[in-house]
Amino acid sequence: MTRPPRPGPVARVALGAGRALLGRRFSARLAELRNVEMLAPAELVRRQQQRLAEITRHAAETVPFWREAYRERGLRPDHVRTLTDLRDLPVVDKDVFRSRPLEDFLSEALPAHRRLPYTTSGSTGDPFRFVLDRAALPLVAASHLYFDSWFGIDPFDRHVRVMGPPAADAPPGADTPFGARLRYRLNAALQRRYERLTQRRFTTFRVTADELRHAIEHFRARYVMGYTSTLAALADELLRAGWSSSWPMKAIVTIAEPLTPERRRALEECFRGPVANRYGQREFKFWCAQCVPGDPTRFQVVTELVAAETVHADGSPCEPGELGRLVLTNLHNRVMPFLRYDTRDVAALGPPDPARAGGRGFPFVERLDGRSQEVLVTAAGRRIDPTTVGHFLFVVKGHVDAVRHYQLRCHGDARATLRVVPGPGFRDPETTARLRRDLAELLGAGVDVDVETVAEIPLERSGKRPIIKLLPAEPNPHGSGVDESHYSSPSDV
C-alpha cells in the first residue's frame, strides 16, 4: 500500500505557522462545539433555547419585518423562549424576502460593515440575495472543521475540491472602520494562503477525470470533497479506466446532493475511503452532517447552530419521524436573522440517540427528501448538474435579480433552452443576450443555446420542478447526454 509522504521541512514550517493563525481565529468556537457534543440532550436543548430567545428578541427589536410581525400578532419581543413558542411566528420563504426591500430584513442596530452580501446558487430554481453576518464567519469555519473531525480529518490535510466556480468576495465598504477593514483583509489573505497550502480546486463543469486523478496523485490528497453527482460521475469514469486511489482516503466529503447507493459504491471503490455526507444551505452553511461512518443516511442537527422544525402544508408541526417541510432558524446571523425559514426541502426529524452517534446528544434528521437531479453530459464532455447551473448563473454571473424561476431543458447533448420566469431586474433583449452568452460559456462548444421567457414553469406530476429537464433526442455519437444511473436530491449550498 502506498502512503502519502509527509510534507517537506519548508511546507511543515508554513503549515505550522498557518495552524497557529488558524487556531487563534477559530479555536474558541471549535473547542466549544467539541466540548458540548457529549452533553445530555436536555442540556443541549437548554443551550439552544437560550440562543433562540436571544436571536428572536434581537430580531423583534431591531429588524423592521420582524418588529411588524410581532406587533401584528400581539407578541412581546421576549415571547420566544422555547421551540413551541417559536411556532407563534410566521414561516417565511424566498417569496416573502422578495416581496419587500432587503433593508426590511436587516438589523438597524448593527453597522453596515458587518453585512456580507451573498447570493444563493439557485439549485432549487429560485435564487435570491441575502446577507451574512461577518462576525459569525469564525463559527461557520469552525463548524466545517468540527464536521471534518468526525472523520479524523485534520484542518491541514491536503485535499482536492470539485465545486462550482468561486465568486469574488465583496470587499468591506468605504464606511468600514480602519481596524475592521484591516482585520477583514488580513483574514481574507490568511484564508487564501491556507487554501493554497491545503487544497487543489476544480470547477465542476471543466474538470476531467484525468485532471482529478493527476491532482490526487501529485498533491498527495488525503480526502476529496465536492458535489455528489460530479464526483460520482468522475469516479465511474476513473474506475472504467482501471484507476483507484493508491492509498486509502480519510473521507469522500459529498455535498449539495444526498447519495444514492450507486453513487456511494462508485465513490468508495474509486477513492478508497468512507463517505462523509453533508447537508446545508448557503443561507445557513453546514449545520447538519452524517454522524456515523458507514451510514450516510444518518445526519445530526447541531443545535448550537440552528433550530430545526418540520411542518405540514398548513403550518402545523409534524410528529417525530413524520415527513414535512423543513423549517430552520439560524441562531447566529444577527445582521439578517433567518427565523422559521422554509428551505423547501422535505425531511423527517428524530430525537437524540447518543448510542447511535458515538455519544453525541444532538437530534437526528431521520430522512431527507428533496428535488430530483440529473447530470447532463454536453457535446464538449462537460458534466453539468443543477447546483453548478445555479452557482454559475447567479453567484458567478450575477443574474439573481433578473430571474425569478428557471429550468434548463436539454434535447440530448446538442441543444439546450433556458426557460426563465423574469424577475424585476430582467431587461429584454439585453438580459436575454447575456443569459444566452453565459449559458453557452457554461455548456461549451457544440451546444445550440436558446433562452425563452415564460409566465411560469409548471410542476411535474410528481409535484417537483426539476432544474435540468432532459428530453428525448435523436441518437448521436456523444451518447444520450445524461448520466442515467444517478439521481439525488439537492439543496442550496
pLDDT given for residue 411 in this prediction: 86
Q: Do 129 and 71 belong together in one domain? A: yes
- Name the pLDDT band for 168 (thresholds 50, 70, 90): low
pLDDT given for residue 295 in this prediction: 82
Tell me if 4 is assigned to some domain: no
Per-residue pLDDT reduced to its tens digit, 105-127 = 999 999 998 998 888 766 666 67
Tell me if 3 is assigned to some domain: no
What domain count does the chain have? 2
Structural domain of 159: 9-369
Q: Do 365 and 394 belong together in one domain? A: no
Q: How many residues does the chain have?
A: 493
pLDDT given for residue 404 in this prediction: 86
- Name the pLDDT band for 486 (thresholds 50, 70, 90): very low
**pLDDT of 296 over the 50 cut:** yes
Tell me if 196 is assigned to some domain: yes
pLDDT given for residue 307 in this prediction: 96
Tell me if 67 is assigned to some domain: yes
- Residue 190's alpha-carbon distances to 18, 186, 285, 440, in angstroms, are 8, 6, 20, 35
Q: Do 104 and 247 belong together in one domain? A: yes
Q: Do 311 and 296 belong together in one domain? A: yes
| Mean pLDDT on 225-237 | 89
- Name the pLDDT band for 36 (thresholds 50, 70, 90): very high
pLDDT given for residue 287 in this prediction: 86
Q: Do 363 and 427 belong together in one domain? A: no
Tell me the C-alpha distance between 357 and 290, whole Å. Answer: 9
pLDDT given for residue 103 in this prediction: 96
- Residue 400's alpha-carbon distances to 104, 107, 119, 396, in angstroms, are 19, 23, 7, 10
pLDDT given for residue 5 in this prediction: 44
Tell me the C-alpha distance between 291 and 90, whole Å. Answer: 31
Higher pLDDT, 338 or 176: 338
For the chain, give the mean pLDDT.
Answer: 84
Closest CA to 132 of 140, 124, 143, 142: 140
- Name the pLDDT band for 284 (thresholds 50, 70, 90): confident
Tell me if 423 is assigned to some domain: yes
**pLDDT of 167 over the 70 cut:** no
**pLDDT of 484 over the 70 cut:** no
Per-residue pLDDT reduced to its tens digit, 336-378 = 999 999 988 888 999 998 888 888 999 999 887 655 456 788 8
| CATH code, domain with 261 | 3.40.50.12780
Closest CA to 297 of 345, 328, 260: 260
Taking a C-beta distance cutoff of 8 angstroms, is the pair 491, 256 a contact? yes
Q: Do 406 and 336 belong together in one domain? A: no
